[in-house]
Amino acid sequence: MSTAHCNQLDLYLDGQLPAEARAAFEAHLTGCASCAPAIASWERSGERLETWAAPFAGSPSAQQLRDFRARFHGAPSRAWFRGPLIGAALAIAAAVIFLFTRSSAPAEWEISGDAVASTSTLGSPSAPQHFRIGPDELDLAATTEVKVVEKGPKRTRLTLTRGVLTARVEPGRKGRDFIIDSPPYRVTVIGTVFEVRRVSDTFRVATSKGVVRVETLGPGGVVLDSKLVPAGSDFEANQPLSAPVDAGPAPSDPEPDDAEVPKPQPKPSAGALLVWRQRAARGECQAVFEETKAALKVSPSHVGTLRVNADCARKLGLSAASVAAYRKVIANSSGAEAAEAMLLAAGLLQEELHDPRGVLAVTKVIRGASPEVAGALHVRRARAFQALGRKDEARREVALTLERFGTTPAAADALRLKTELGVR
């Protein structure tokens, strides 16, 4: 039979009863046929929870967390939901687990593998070695030297001084950075499996899976150039380790507001183009855009100036002006330069200006493009045809992409589009 004390059961279990009321409640338990079994059931649930959590007393490994999440998100048994007490126990268990997984993340990953020294320098002069840094794996060829700069859950950062490093980075690692420096180059992992090689002045990155970004850095860490290296391709360059990049003539001190602005040179030098790019990377795109626009009045077909102008217009959100400049780059260049400008223009036309006919016009002739860029351009054309309701032509572009560029990242987009178009 329910009493006034029985109505306080939930408050008692939550620890919210005042001391006097708690003592009175506990006194009535001995003769209560309703509350005593409920308390016993609650205690048994707590003991089971403690037993279950015992293996997780230390910091969990990445694999333990994956296994747990897989079980936690599985289909629950209906028997667990018989009664409010068991439901409350589950809610508390979930809260404990959430706090546990959030608070137990290590401040730094442990390094394990061959001959891990107390220092953060990895490698052997005579034998290849294998290491793990948290969930990521590294294979180092003999004579390779790698310094571990950071190894936390948010960022792993290495410096490759010499040799060959192959990395297999945990896939799906949202919120994590994996970076390899080998000055003046910086490799940022977007994919999962790649090789970085530093032999004398030669620097090479080969990607087996996913995509890797390689940046060439100038003084002060300014990004002078950036290139994506997708699966099946590589990047190779020659630059002495830690050697300063030729940045061309340094920009002069700003002139007073009333000073006369010098007339732009008909053909800007390579040094002037580099300075423009450096300033754009520092956030001075608005000024660089105006200066390159003035320079193009004197030399309207100079490809280098057109490209800087187009890139700055794109960063400023001036999509139409950017497309116009990219079109001129395409008209006045060839090969990779023209193909890259074509891809950038097509992207703006499709995503910002919503002009499928413009996409088809700018991609009408695809020549000199790498397989990765060519595949991406054909996918752009397929989506433009789809937007115009020309599904047969869209299907042909998809088929061409899968046939000729099936090993490039564009193939995944083509497969998704194939499903959308109802192609079997």
Instruction: Of 422, 411, 352, 362, give the one whose Cα is nearest residue 386.
Output: 422
pLDDT of residue 263: 45
The alpha carbon of residue 324 and the mean position of all alpha carbons in its chain are separated, in whole angstroms, by: 30
Question: Residues 396, 348, 228, 365: what is their CA dihedral angle, to the nearest 10 degrees?
Answer: 40
CATH 1.25.40.10 residue ranges of the chain are 270-420
Task: Please list, in sequence order, all residues whose beta carbon lies within 8 angstroms of the beta carbon of residue 55, skipping any fewer than 6 positions away.
Answer: none
Nearest CA to 229 among 347, 339, 372? 372
Using CA atoms, how far residue 54 sits from 51, 60, 63, 71, 183, in Å, is 5, 12, 17, 17, 47
Q: What pLDDT is stored for residue 102 in this prediction?
A: 44
Averaged over successive runs of 10 residues, the pLDDT of the chain (424 residues) comes to 70 71 72 74 68 57 58 48 48 49 59 69 86 86 88 87 86 72 84 77 81 79 77 78 45 41 57 87 90 90 92 92 93 87 93 92 88 92 93 92 90 89 72
Question: What confidence score (pLDDT) does residue 305 get?
Answer: 92
pLDDT digits 0-9 by tens, 35-46? 777 777 776 766
- Rounded Cα distance between 156 and 136, Å, is 9
* Residue 229: predicted pLDDT: 81
Q: Where in the chain is the domain with CATH 2.60.120.1440?
A: 111-238
What is the CATH class of 111-238?
mainly beta
pLDDT in tens, 337-354: 889 999 999 999 999 999
Name the token pair of 86.
């068991």
Closest alpha carbon to 323 in 343, 339, 297: 343
- Rounded to two decimals, the pTM is 0.41
pLDDT of 270 reads 78
Residue ranges of the alpha helices (H) in 352-405? 356-362, 371-387, 391-404
Closest CA to 173 of 129, 215, 210: 210
Instruction: Report the pLDDT value the prediction gives residue 362, as an integer from 0 to 100.
Output: 92
CATH superfamily to which 270-420 belongs: Tetratricopeptide repeat domain (1.25.40.10)
- Counting every residue, how long is the chain? 424
